[in-house]
Amino acid sequence: MYKRIVIAYDGSESGQKALLDGFDIAQWSHGELFLIAVMPQLTTAIFGMEGGLYEVASETQDTQKYLAVLDEGLRRISGSGITAKGEVLTGESVEEITRYARTIAADLIVVGHKHQDGWAARWWSGSKSPALIEHAHCSVLVVITH
């Protein structure tokens, strides 16, 4: 049924639950797992007359942080017999997740979502799950935590 499963993994509680649920589905369906961590696009800092200064140190730190999160997720499922690959992507999360899923011809995208208490918290958080569902070419499993 689901042979190529993309898990958007960020190391959060809901991300860890999504990892475990996606792993269970992969075991059941004998599928492949593709873990991705999406790093926001860095902006260029501008310093007066010198023009733009690209903050390489900041990008390196961010990349290493996302690689560490991804490695932790891959370690959690290693030794299980399931084929798993990981990649850090850069850009807007919904666009990158759906682009990657199309590129590998994924059957399922798994993401975590934490319910926010109160309408104000939900409004400020700007959930990405509905937008992902609208843009995905395949099924999407949104794993909910509270």
Burial class (CB in 10 A: 0-12, 13-18, 19+), 120: exposed
124 vs 17: CA distance, rounded Å: 23
**111, 18 Cβ separation under 8 angstroms:** yes
Three-state DSSP class for residue 81 = coil
Chain centre distance of CA 14: 11
Q: Tokens at residue 93, please?
A: 């999360």
pLDDT in tens, 21-59: 999 999 999 999 999 999 988 655 555 555 555 555 677
Q: How confident is the model at residue 117 (pLDDT cuts 50, 70, 90)?
A: low
pLDDT in tens, 65-111: 999 999 999 999 988 888 899 999 999 999 999 999 999 999 999 99
Domains annotated for the chain, with CATH where assigned, are 4-145 (3.40.50.620)
